[in-house]
Amino acid sequence: MTRRTVVDIATQVAAGSLSASTVLEENLAAIAAREHEIHAFNLVTADKARERAAQIDADVKAGKKVGRLAGVTIALKDNLCTRGVETTCSSKILAGWKPPYDATVVRRLADEGAVVVGKTNLDEFAMGSSTENSAFGPTRNPLDTSRVPGGSSGGSAAAVAAGFSAASFGSDTGGSIRQPAALCGLVGVKPTYGMVSRQGLVAFGSSLDQIGPFTTTVADAALLMEVIAGHDPLDSTSLPQPAPQLVNVLARGVKGLRIGRVADMPEGSSPDVLARLDAAFDALRAAGATVVDVKLPSMSFGLTAYYLVAPAEASSNLARFDGVRYGLRVDAKDLNAMYGATRAAGFGDEVKRRIMLGTYALSAGYYDAYYGKALKVRRLIADDFAKAYEQCDAILTPTSPTVAFKFGDKTSNPLTMYLCDVFTIPTNLAGHAAMSVPFGTGDAGLPVGVQVLAPALGEATMFQVAAELERSS
Amino acid sequence: MPEPISRNTVAKVARLARLDLTEAEVDRMTDQLAGMLEHFRDVDALDLSNVQPLNQPIPLTNVLRDDVEQPSLDRDEVLGNAPAAQDGRFRVPPIIGFEE
């Protein structure tokens, strides 16, 4: 099957040279052929998608104006609310829940003519880096089914990598878009905090979460970002400004840009990944950029700060799953017993572990020692980035320390799994922009992702660099 | 940093979090949390005495909307998702009177 890009589909469907139904049926055929071995989806909404595609084709035929994403097939991580369509967060505690509203991002995509093919699998409540923590079973990497697709948005990454949809959306709290994008050979974007509305994204770490796209090209990601970004009055942390212009910066090149190389980068990356990072610096240098050494001394403390801040916020956010308003209820003699029994039965091990860690870090007597300290480390990391960005316009690091790993490799000790996110976490703590771009292959012929970091609201520069890397790869 | 986390503390935190953990889960959680908290001691190497905590990466203050009536969610649609509802309300087990 030929890979159709978002830009190609939108252009051709709007022009009437390709039908939305044809695109959709290609994707549904791919799903029928391989979904049983990949398990990218919790739910495939084929009927709704066919209705939607037929409507778009009818609109085109009737000469009506169609949106910027007419006929573009997308998959949505199953923590994005879709009105009347089951949204589970891959947790037993939410099984059967049909949200009474659409997430802002979902509404904006629909308004521009996108066709939703289904809801994708994730680590339960987005907690994990391999999609092995889903209550509904793991997702497999379409490039090598003995390996994980990354996580937590593993289903969204796998859906695009397997040709089940032209693009997909995930959420990124500590790397959950960028790491699976890297492991599946895709482009994945974590926007500046507040650039994309979180309304209708089931909250994990409210000061860290952002929604972003998975695509096969940088241009596709730029177009999707222009559609989903911009102020939303329904999210009080949404930045009061319009979506950035990204499509028109892609051809600018990197001449004159200063690209930071982290001189004191945390260790532990495998040689194949570091070789691709070196090649990325060479490519940008060849294209006219200068490479400068910067220091981020607090970067290696990011994991510690994150694994206190994120569980603390999660323990508070997940308090709402109590068997009263939605999802699972385990009956018991009184309200408190019902809460305890429902939450014990509904949450998986990793979610319980993080609720416990977060509750502990916030509890009287321990707050200053753990949560309070973590917030101070968070400040140091933001300050380090601020200093680094005085010397450079963007920074390159690996996205993931290794290529896609095998199932079970990192499940015995939670800390080894957490180390997957060492390069992605600092950006979430600082609230900056970051994206992963495929840049060649490493061990076992598997894709390596290079991470482009930019300051808050630095998306235009970030996309310029990403487009150059794509041209050189 | 405080003392290593004890089994009693883990059991207490589980009660605070409204999570009925089994005895085996409390044991396992005690080991795992102790391991993580031990790892987190790496930040003790940092001097944080004059550092201000960072709560929100990009702070916005007092974000309020205009006080204009807007439609709210459809009540039947919302209650239709509830495990139990009655007379337009969420139905829950007794709140008081069963403490052990």
pLDDT tens-digit profile of A112-151? Answer: 999 999 999 999 999 999 999 999 999 999 999 999 999 9
Distance from CA of B89 to the nearest CA of A (A): 10
Chain B residue whose CA is closest to A353: B29
pLDDT single digits (tens) A213-256: 999 999 999 999 999 999 999 999 999 999 999 999 999 999 99
| Cβ–Cβ < 8 Å for B87, B76 | no
Check if the beta carbon of residue A352 is closer than 8 Å to that of residue B25. Answer: yes
Tell whether B98 is covered by a domain.
no
Predicted confidence (pLDDT) at residue B45 exceeds the cutoff of 90: no
B4, part of any domain: yes
The answer as to whether B54 is a domain residue is: no
Cα–Cα distance measured from residue A77 to residue A412, given in angstroms and rounded to the nearest whole number: 26
- The ipTM (two decimal places) reads 0.94
Instruction: Give the contacts of A85 (CB within 8 A, at least 6 positions apart).
Output: A43, A45, A48, A98, A99, A119
CB contact under 8 A, A370 and B37: yes
Query: pLDDT per residue over A69-97, tens digit each?
Result: 999 999 999 999 999 999 999 999 998 89
* A35: its two tokens: 């979904």
> If residue B37 lies in a helix (H) or strand (E), which one and from where to where?
helix B23-39
pLDDT of res. A198: 98
Q: Work out the angle at residue A212's Cα, subtended by the Cα atoms of residues A136 and A359, and round it to the nearest 5 degrees.
A: 60
CATH of domain A6-249: 3.90.1300.10
B82 assigned to some structural domain: no
What residues make up the domain containing B14?
1-45
For residue A158, pLDDT beyond 50: yes
Q: Give B55 or A403, the one with higher predicted confidence.
A: A403
Task: Map tokens 């007379």 to a residue.
Answer: B87
Q: Distance of CA A186 to CAs A128, A178, A179, A471, B98, Å?
A: 19, 9, 10, 14, 55
Could you report the per-residue pLDDT of A314-334, keeping only the tens digit for each?
999 999 999 999 999 999 999
Residues in chain A: 473
Strand partners, A262: A294
Indicate if the pLDDT at residue A311 is higher than 90: yes
Within 8 A of B56 by CB-CB distance, chain A residues are 207, 237, 431
Amino acid at position B21, single letter: L
User: Is B41 part of any domain?
Assistant: yes
CATH number at residue B1: 1.10.20.60
Q: Could you tell me if A352 lies within 8 Å of chain B, comparing CB atoms?
A: yes
Average pLDDT estimate for B49-72: 88
Distance CA(B15)–CA(B33), nearest Å, equals 16
Share above pLDDT 70 across residues of chain A, in percent, rounded to a whole number: 100
Say if the Cβ atoms of A308 and B42 lie within 8 Å: no
Check residue B2 and give its pLDDT. Answer: 62
pLDDT in the model for residue B90: 96
pLDDT at res. A245:
97
- Average predicted confidence (pLDDT) for chain A: 96
Contact B46 A357 (CB under 8 A): no
Answer whether residue A359 shows pLDDT above 70.
Answer: yes
Query: Contacts of residue B58 in chain A, CB cutoff 8 Å?
Result: 192-194, 237, 239, 431, 456
Sequence letter at residue B51: V
CA gap A54, A5 in Å, rounded: 20
Q: What is the mean pLDDT of residues B84-98?
A: 89
Question: Residue A412 has what pLDDT?
Answer: 83
pLDDT of residue B41: 87
Q: Check whether A290 has a pLDDT greater than 70.
A: yes
Per the CB < 8 A criterion, the answer to whether A154 and A130 are in contact is: yes
Averaged pLDDT, A454-461: 98
Q: Which residue of chain A comes nearest to B35, CA vs CA?
A: A415
Q: Is the pLDDT of residue A2 over 70?
A: no
Average pLDDT over residues B13-37: 95
pLDDT score at A1: 47
Average pLDDT, chain B: 90
Residues of A designated catalytic:
77, 152, 176
Is position B17 within any domain? yes
Q: Which of B58, B55, B12 is nearest to A372 (CA)?
A: B55
Cα gap A392→A454, rounded to integer Å: 9
Q: For residue B60, is it within any domain?
A: no
> What percent of chain A shows pLDDT beyond 90?
95
Predicted confidence (pLDDT) per residue in A382-414, tens digit: 999 999 999 999 999 999 999 999 999 998 887
- For B11-21, what is the mean pLDDT? 97
Q: Are A207 and B90 a contacting pair at CB < 8 A?
A: no
Chain B interface disruption, residue of A195, A334, A351, most B CBs within 10 A = A334
Q: How many residues does chain B have?
A: 100
Q: Which of B6, B23, B25, B36 to mutate to test the interface with A (most CBs of A within 10 A)?
A: B36
pLDDT value at A451 more than 50: yes
In this predicted structure, what is the pLDDT of residue A401?
A: 96
Q: How many domains does chain B have?
A: 1
